[in-house]
Chain A
């Protein structure tokens, strides 16, 4: 494994960009459907649960601070069971990478450039992801450091520009929601937002130069990402209203369409879309990095770089075949994704933890 280390700050930024990633665009719609105007409360609760999960990941990460998740799996569960679990985990990361690629293409072709085939977006995006992964963790962590201020600037700008359109009545009455839809929406929020960070265990704590600080950074990053999401969810509901938020395919993009200051600062939603492309790039690149490094460790080869091209090719194909249409993708995200994500995001770390404890005792 490479000895390259990234700084704690870079790790924090990666956590933020990773966690905001796809969530920014799809979460408002799916939880507004369940929680209506109280979606923001659900989001806050979701962030709370997410922090608990981060605690779990931190504990799992500290079982063997000098190993990636794949190595931990193999060590804790033994060679053969470990290999099988690893294969399942790689299946999870690869399919999810493909899915994110699908999101990119689908978003671009439904919202911005309808005539362009989704495949073209996916190939282009995959190429950049492959280049990034080949340059290595250190490089893309540094790029994240450069891009992050821009993301924050765009985000703050977004909030400022959209604020004249706020109609606070849209979130009233507060707390009208019943328990079940609340639970459901919190669950949906967690499933998108906080089951994925398990993938970060491929770089944490092994590749971060200060493991102790990195644990805090994990919390900090998740918390900041959570705040960003809560703000976006609240804004979509406050500006668009519950019904529109639930009906729209990409509510936060529609939100950006509302920006209009005077006669010149309008029609800038595509710039806002770039904010999302940046974050999903980092989400995808970490998933893909995890898949590639994981695969290299599975078959026991030292340099993961030769695997990037063929695996990149596979995720492009996956991105086309994962969902035949958008309806299936929504159904999957609201349905099977929850248990599927939970298997790796919740069950796997728990099992690892218990087995590791039991082994230590005996």
Chain B
């Protein structure tokens, strides 16, 4: 990594030398007393941006009190501003007792706050930094001439996609709602599922420029304090210009190891987050993305689907086993084919060997190259299918799978078995409920094919040993990635390869939380409690 660091620092130096024109707003700068000065400063700082609406009105009996209203068009709720701020200030208070008071009092701000503004959330503001933050996130600023303070009325309202069905993690049985881009919607979705006062939420802004809201959500008393502190510390460590998606945060807070495996879990389903919170994990919500991060993420959480818990225990156990088999095929399918056909034909039954050999008759590529080419073709198809306009997606899949596959076999460029192997592998790759894990496995497939092509099954076994070593070395927020397999925790095996019936899922996973272990209260738990 030495070389990498050097390269980064070199390019960094170059850009550092250029002078930055970006203005830095110091948090300490207080507001001016004069409204004109304030407005001038705001205009200057925001560069006269056209979506910033600045309105000066006069209120009071004689109309001598100058008031400035500032908001961002599109982010603030215009009707709310008209109904509850403008109308109240300019029309409703005329001639009332308040009107008189305003004239006599020096503390107009307090008066307005207490009597006039019929809006839920009002804050004081006295420095420019908060001012900009709030105005740019949709709040309405009310400045009063002669006061070095202003009011911020919460009028945030912008276009929201609404709660829709999850697109990446669909289930047959289970809730059909997914997170949207607005953080507040997302927190409400979770809060609706867990109505416990212990569900705590901490928000902070991350990103020097974007000032993105990032919230940590956990259930106090279930989540381990150690992990929560660790999450806080890691979030506070971030110093970056912008956060646009949860992927930014994921990369910045994950454990500092070089690994293809995701050590932070992401989901777009509120029910998954709720379930994880109940297991004692910590959720990180980021404004502007429908993906919520969950830490610590163990390997098994990427293989388990939320549906496992909605279906009958026996069925979901079988489905889980199926998923593990799928994972295995997805990782090793082509490499096993390459190893068996090029190094160990003695392992194939005679009839099968002859059949495969006859198909390979005339294929110009060695099996390794054939596998690599087919895998590559599949990856390209997959990527193209994702990127292309949805309307011609079907056309692509027809061309890709049917025409190319069929024609390649007919032309004798690839063998039919290879096509079967690659398709089987590709389909198996989709058994992972989590997209990030299936990408990892897909990526690891290639070195495995390489090992299989040089060392046969020996290469595959050695590769697997190395993979297991690597997995065992990983930690996610202090928790071993492979737990509860290694270190083996017998009580937690009830929800790993198999899912036990609900009455047996008595305790929360260890290592993640030390306290409040019992989930289900039934005769068994009580017996255990009494120490029988």
A residues at B contact (CB < 8 Å): 7, 9-10, 108, 112-113, 116, 120-121, 124-125, 128, 131-132, 135-136, 139-140, 142-143, 145-147, 263-264, 266-268, 270-271, 273-274, 277-278, 281
Contact B482 A142 (CB under 8 A): yes
Contacts of A116 in B (CB 8 A): 455
B residues at A contact (CB < 8 Å): 343-344, 346-349, 454-459, 461-462, 465-466, 468-473, 480, 482, 485-488
Query: Closest CB-CB distance, B112 to chain A, in whole Å?
Result: 63
- Neighbour of A139 across the interface among B347, B456, B472, CB < 8 A: B472
- Neighbour of B458 across the interface among A146, A268, A277, CB < 8 A: A277
Given A116-B455, A121-B458, the answer on whether A145 and B469 have CB atoms closer than 8 Å is no
- Neighbour of B344 across the interface among A125, A263, A270, CB < 8 A: A270
Contacts of A121 in B (CB 8 A): 455, 458
Contact B486 A267 (CB under 8 A): no
Contact A146 B468 (CB under 8 A): yes
Q: From B353, which residue of chain A is reached at the shortest CB distance? A: A267
Contacts of A281 in B (CB 8 A): 465
Given A142-B486, A146-B486, the answer on whether A108 and B458 have CB atoms closer than 8 Å is yes
In the bound complex, CA of A337 to CA of B318 (Å): 51
- Neighbour of A270 across the interface among B347, B471, B486, B487, CB < 8 A: B347
- Neighbour of A143 across the interface among B346, B461, B465, CB < 8 A: B465
In the bound complex, CA of A75 to CA of B83 (Å): 86
Known: A121-B458, A136-B473. 16 other contacts (CB 8 A): A112-B343, A113-B343, A128-B466, A135-B469, A142-B472, A142-B482, A142-B487, A143-B469, A146-B471, A146-B486, A263-B349, A268-B347, A273-B457, A274-B461, A277-B461, A277-B462
Contacts of B472 in A (CB 8 A): 135, 139-140, 142-143, 146
In the bound complex, CA of A123 to CA of B456 (Å): 15
Contacts of B471 in A (CB 8 A): 143, 146
Residue among A124, A131, A264, A277 with the highest chain B CB neighbour number at 10 A: A124
Contact B485 A145 (CB under 8 A): yes
In the bound complex, CA of A125 to CA of B471 (Å): 18
Classify the secondary structure of B's interface with A: helix
Query: Closest CB-CB distance, B156 to chain A, in whole Å?
Result: 48
In the bound complex, CA of A140 to CA of B465 (Å): 10
Contacts of B344 in A (CB 8 A): 112, 270
- Neighbour of A124 across the interface among B347, B459, B485, CB < 8 A: B459
Contacts of A7 in B (CB 8 A): 487
- Neighbour of A145 across the interface among B346, B459, B488, CB < 8 A: B488
In the bound complex, CA of A174 to CA of B482 (Å): 48
Contacts of A263 in B (CB 8 A): 349
Given A112-B344, A112-B456, A145-B485, the answer on whether A139 and B462 have CB atoms closer than 8 Å is no
Given A263-B349, A267-B347, A268-B347, the answer on whether A128 and B465 have CB atoms closer than 8 Å is yes
Contacts of A271 in B (CB 8 A): 457
Query: Closest CB-CB distance, B350 to chain A, in whole Å?
Result: 9
Residue among A121, A142, A273 with the highest chain B CB neighbour number at 10 A: A142
In the bound complex, CA of A240 to CA of B227 (Å): 57
Q: From B352, which residue of chain A is reached at the shortest CB distance? A: A264
- Neighbour of A113 across the interface among B456, B462, B466, B486, CB < 8 A: B456
30 contacts between A and B (CB under 8 A): A7-B487, A9-B488, A112-B458, A113-B343, A113-B455, A116-B455, A121-B458, A124-B455, A124-B458, A124-B459, A128-B465, A128-B466, A131-B469, A131-B470, A132-B465, A135-B469, A136-B473, A139-B473, A140-B472, A142-B472, A142-B480, A143-B468, A145-B487, A146-B482, A147-B465, A263-B349, A264-B349, A266-B349, A273-B457, A274-B461
Query: Closest CB-CB distance, A112 to chain B, in whole Å?
Result: 7
Contacts of B456 in A (CB 8 A): 112-113
Contact B466 A131 (CB under 8 A): yes
Contact A128 B469 (CB under 8 A): yes
Contacts of A268 in B (CB 8 A): 347
In the bound complex, CA of A131 to CA of B343 (Å): 26
In the bound complex, CA of A146 to CA of B488 (Å): 8
Residue among B346, B461, B486, B487 with the highest chain A CB neighbour number at 10 A: B486
Contact B348 A267 (CB under 8 A): yes
